Amino acid sequence: MRTLLESDTGFYYAIGAFTTLVFVVGLVVLAALNPGGIGARELIGLVVGFCLFMLVYFVSITVHRLEGGDSLR
């Protein structure tokens, strides 16, 4: 784990995974505390928007690696 976090790209991957974990935990807490608080349409929009954000995030990391900015070893 430590070797993964020593590179910039590895750190960015770890932050992306942590962000996804926080999002999923937030959805679980929302569903547990207030099951009727958010409608299906809003939930789908929220999840699709987050997935698009994470897609762009991970694509930008891949571009960074391809440019030679950093490499995972």
- Pick from 21, 25, 9, 3: nearest CA to 58: 9
| pLDDT given at position 24 | 93
* CB burial of residue 2 (10 Å; 0-12, 13-18, 19+): exposed
- The answer to whether position 24 is within a domain reads yes
Quick: pLDDT tens for 3-21. Answer: 666 777 888 888 999 999 9
- The answer to whether position 61 is within a domain reads yes
| pLDDT given at position 5 | 67
- The answer to whether position 72 is within a domain reads no
Arithmetic mean of pLDDT, 30-37: 83
pTM for this predicted structure: 0.73
- The answer to whether position 55 is within a domain reads yes
Residue range(s) defining the domain that contains residue 8? 2-66
Contact status, residue 38 vs residue 30, Cβ threshold 8 Å? yes
How many domains does one find in the chain? 1
First CA to last CA across the chain, in angstroms?
A: 12
- The answer to whether position 73 is within a domain reads no
